[in-house]
Structure 1
């Protein structure tokens, strides 16, 4: 009997197995491929938490895998933080299947350790959870969400006492604690009635929402008189069946943006995300209904948030009257320019802009123009949150942080990407440029004229299951052991290996430099003419992603460079996988 079969038998013969999971297990009985995938390994707890398909098995999201993760978290907190039981943990959840149930299961495990849990009474956005950790002073936060993944997924994200996603060092200790837990089916829990009786669960109402909205109102760059004025900006908003509706609508009302039309078909939470192929504002199909409504109302700006409201997509009209969805890099550069141009020059002296290593270099060019230093982080907003925490002691000022995957943060009262903040600032920015007689696309052209035509892209290859994981590992191993020296006729000037923390500067006298960032399985090639390529396996999905950045003299020049890089890398990867 193989190892996965032993685990399957343990589950299959467990008398108290949760009924719906027992039923689901019965449905795949005899299907060795499905059973092996569900039981061959434990669901990966990565650098921020875990995410996976719902269902029975140790490689699935269910009450038992959640309980095991919480048990590990509880033991970690008891050893590494102070006043754990009194300060407690705050838990929020989104609109997905089993989200509320997993939130309660979290409280049931923590309660067994005497740790009090603050649980929101209804679904809430991820940035509100980040804010709540700081507002309540808890030792940690848990967000039950799979962000923009398909409906069959859910996830479990952990936040540290600063309100940021846990960093690798914290994750390693939590993972170690989880691994010491033992049998996931036997994790002790305290039932909900007992939790309430012993005051070990606190149901949170509107208090934190209201405190968050007070902070949100302060990020505006508008003068007090302008803030009170009703604004003639036509807005269409879709929360894509998620959690953003209340906070975004209340935030816009605070700033007197009164012309807001909501896509009604997508306004209510729906775990099936039934009107979209994917509830991801990065995917243009998610904007189809918003575009239809935008055309009906002649809207100036369309806003789309993902289910847990940490990502924002924006669409605006192009010269032909069609709506175009801005990339994360484009919107980030526009927001950065608006914020810096409306900030006190004295503040800018100590200001720092944070971006990831796969985010557009246009942001750096914009920041340089205002005398603001740019700091690069690894991919993932947890690293931006960690930097902000360091600023608390260094005297540096956080001014803006963003990543190419539609994540932005304007003010550090939250320590994770925040689509609510970004939605407010995007509307304010669109209102500003409208009063200058320009759309956001025309404002973007101004940046290109000043700094150069930057263009970025990303391709991803999905490789599911055990074999897929092996293929992804093979791609990275081959690229690492045989680094490219030329990509699409562009010479490689530097090779950055983030796993070994080494930067190799090529040329007649090659030299090795140290990369002062945490280790990560990622390779970046810096090419001539300010172009670059980066290869990185996803930490939350069975994908390997290839990021591209180019800079040209014109849109056409940049598009040609980008296309040639993509074509070449697709050939390279297909040769490694044997799929060409």
Structure 2
């Protein structure tokens, strides 16, 4: 009998196994390939936690794999955190299938370890979990979410005591504790009634919401008089069947933005995300209903949040009067410029802007213009949150952070990307420019005229299974070893290999150290602020190729982007054939 079959038999013979999971196992009992995939390994716990398909098996997300993860987290907290029993753990969840049930399972395992759980009594955005950890002084946080993955997924995301996503070192230590739990089916739990009777489970939410909304008032760049005035700005908002509706509307009303039309068909939480192909504001199709509503209401700005409300997309009218969805790089550059433009220069002396290595270089140019230093991090907002935490010791101050995948942070009361505060800030910014007779599209092109036309694109190569994993590794190896001196006719200035931690100048052979953690990423720095970066996805079986260019005109930039994208497509196809 193969190893996975032994584990499968253990589950099938488990007395008291969850009846729904038992039925699902029986339904696939004659499908060995499906069973093998469900049991051939344990669901991986990575740098952010776990994410997987719902269902029975050790390679699926279910109450038993969640319990095992929480059990490991408890052992980690007891070893590494002070006063963990009284401080407890904050737990939240989104609109997905099983989210609230998994939140309760988390509390049941925490309670078995004598650790208190503060659980939101309704679904909430991910950034509210980050805020709650800091507000409550909790030892850690757990968010049940799979962000914008398809409906069959859910996830288990862990936050440290600073309210940030756990770092790679923290994740490795938690993983070590999780792996010590040999039998996920026998993790001790305490039932809800007993937890509540012994003050090990507190249900809440409103107090944290009120404290968060109060903090959002400090983000605005409007003076006190203007804050009290009703704003002439027509807004269309879609929460894409997720968690953001109430908080975004309340936060907008705080600043007297009352002209808010919500896409009603997408306002109700729905784990099927039934009106969209993907509940991801990065995908332009997610804005179809919002654009239809905007045309009827003549909206100035459209905003949309993903299901757990950590990503924000926006659309505005272009010079033809048509609604166009801004890229994450474009919206980030606009918000950064507005933030710095409206801040007293004296407060920017030690200010820092943080972006990831695959985010547009336009942000750096804007920050430079205001005398603000830019700090680059690896891809993932956990690295931005980690850098903010370090500012407590260095005396630097955080002013803005963003990544190209629609994640933004304006105030560090949250230590993760926050679509709620970004939604309010984007609307305030649109109002600022409307008073000057401009749309956000006009403001964006003013930035291009001042700094150059920065454009970006991404190629995503999907390679599934073990063969796909091997192919991705092979392509990354070719990128490291093939001495490219130009890409698409643009000279290669340097190659940054984040796995070896070396920056190499091809023409001279000179090397220098990269002061960032080790990661499987290769970036080519080209002439004229152009660049190309290859990175395997951390959550999907994909190889991502990011391309960024700058030109003195939109035409020049589009030509460079087309040439570089075509060259990288050829490179990837050639590597994939070999």
Q: Does the TM-score normalized on the shorter chain lie above 0.5?
A: yes
Aligned-residue RMSD, C-alpha: 1.2
After superposition, residues 97-136 of structure 1 pair within 5 angstroms as 97-136=97-136
Task: Kindly indicate whether the alpha-carbon contact (under 8 Å) linking 2:483 and 2:506 is maintained by their aligned counterparts in 1.
Answer: no
Q: Secondary structure at the match of 1:352?
A: strand
Task: Kindly indicate whether the alpha-carbon contact (under 8 Å) linking 2:63 and 2:102 is maintained by their aligned counterparts in 1.
Answer: yes
Cα offsets for 1:74-133 (capped at 9, x unmatched): 000000001011000000000000100110010111111000000000100001000000
Take 1:14 and 1:567, find their aligned partners in 2: how far apart are those partners? 55
Task: Kindly indicate whether the alpha-carbon contact (under 8 Å) linking 1:37 and 1:466 is maintained by their aligned counterparts in 2.
Answer: no
Question: Structure 1 residue 483: deviation in Å?
Answer: 5.1
Take 1:322 and 1:32, find their aligned partners in 2: how far apart are those partners? 52
Take 2:109 and 2:570, find their aligned partners in 1: how far apart are those partners? 49
1:526 counterpart residue number:
525
2:568 paired with 1:569: yes
2:289 paired with 1:289: yes
Task: Kindly indicate whether the alpha-carbon contact (under 8 Å) linking 1:51 and 1:156 is maintained by their aligned counterparts in 2.
Answer: yes
Gaps of 5+ in 1: none
1:329 counterpart residue number:
329
1:542 counterpart residue number:
541
Take 1:14 and 1:129, find their aligned partners in 2: how far apart are those partners? 35
Task: Kindly indicate whether the alpha-carbon contact (under 8 Å) linking 1:50 and 1:540 is maintained by their aligned counterparts in 2.
Answer: no
2:487 counterpart residue number:
487
2:145 counterpart residue number:
145
1:255 counterpart residue number:
255
Take 2:17 and 2:500, find their aligned partners in 1: how far apart are those partners? 44
Take 2:393 and 2:141, find their aligned partners in 1: how far apart are those partners? 23
Equivalent pairs counted in the alignment come to: 578
Take 2:276 and 2:404, find their aligned partners in 1: how far apart are those partners? 22
1:555 counterpart residue number:
554
Take 1:567 and 1:4, find their aligned partners in 2: how far apart are those partners? 43
1:279 counterpart residue number:
279
Task: Kindly indicate whether the alpha-carbon contact (under 8 Å) linking 2:252 and 2:424 is maintained by their aligned counterparts in 1.
Answer: yes
Cα offsets for 1:384-407 (capped at 9, x unmatched): 101111111211110000000000
Take 2:280 and 2:494, find their aligned partners in 1: how far apart are those partners? 33
2:46 counterpart residue number:
46
Task: Kindly indicate whether the alpha-carbon contact (under 8 Å) linking 1:127 and 1:416 is maintained by their aligned counterparts in 2.
Answer: yes
Question: Structure 1 residue 223: deviation in Å?
Answer: 0.6
Task: Kindly indicate whether the alpha-carbon contact (under 8 Å) linking 1:377 and 1:383 is maintained by their aligned counterparts in 2.
Answer: yes
1:204 counterpart residue number:
204
Task: Kindly indicate whether the alpha-carbon contact (under 8 Å) linking 1:408 and 1:419 is maintained by their aligned counterparts in 2.
Answer: yes
2:350 paired with 1:347: no
Task: Kindly indicate whether the alpha-carbon contact (under 8 Å) linking 2:111 and 2:117 is maintained by their aligned counterparts in 1.
Answer: yes
Take 2:492 and 2:272, find their aligned partners in 1: how far apart are those partners? 45
Question: Structure 1 residue 35: deviation in Å?
Answer: 1.8
Q: Secondary structure at the match of 2:545?
A: strand
Q: 1:434 to 1:283 in 2, by over 3 A?
A: same
1:515 counterpart residue number:
514
With 4-13 and 347-356 compared, the bigger mean Cα shift is at 4-13
After superposition, residues 207-222 of structure 1 pair within 5 angstroms as 207-222=207-222
Task: Kindly indicate whether the alpha-carbon contact (under 8 Å) linking 1:37 and 1:465 is maintained by their aligned counterparts in 2.
Answer: no
Take 1:9 and 1:483, find their aligned partners in 2: how far apart are those partners? 52
Take 1:13 and 1:563, find their aligned partners in 2: how far apart are those partners? 58
Q: Secondary structure at the match of 2:217?
A: helix
Task: Kindly indicate whether the alpha-carbon contact (under 8 Å) linking 1:90 and 1:119 is maintained by their aligned counterparts in 2.
Answer: yes
1:187 counterpart residue number:
187
Task: Kindly indicate whether the alpha-carbon contact (under 8 Å) linking 1:522 and 1:535 is maintained by their aligned counterparts in 2.
Answer: yes
Take 2:574 and 2:5, find their aligned partners in 1: how far apart are those partners? 35
Take 1:274 and 1:506, find their aligned partners in 2: how far apart are those partners? 51
1:69 counterpart residue number:
69
Take 2:3 and 2:468, find their aligned partners in 1: how far apart are those partners? 20
2:159 paired with 1:175: no
Task: Kindly indicate whether the alpha-carbon contact (under 8 Å) linking 2:133 and 2:140 is maintained by their aligned counterparts in 1.
Answer: yes
Task: Kindly indicate whether the alpha-carbon contact (under 8 Å) linking 1:313 and 1:325 is maintained by their aligned counterparts in 2.
Answer: yes
Take 2:80 and 2:130, find their aligned partners in 1: how far apart are those partners? 20
Question: Structure 1 residue 11: deviation in Å?
Answer: 2.0
Q: 1:175 to 1:260 in 2, by over 3 A?
A: same
Q: Secondary structure at the match of 1:218?
A: coil
With 455-464 and 284-293 compared, the bigger mean Cα shift is at 455-464
2:299 counterpart residue number:
299
Task: Kindly indicate whether the alpha-carbon contact (under 8 Å) linking 2:455 and 2:557 is maintained by their aligned counterparts in 1.
Answer: yes
1:379 counterpart residue number:
379
Question: Structure 1 residue 576: deviation in Å?
Answer: 2.3
Question: Structure 1 residue 492: deviation in Å?
Answer: 1.8
With 536-545 and 207-216 compared, the bigger mean Cα shift is at 536-545
Question: Structure 1 residue 16: deviation in Å?
Answer: 2.4
Cα offsets for 1:149-193 (capped at 9, x unmatched): 111111111000000001111111011111111111111111112
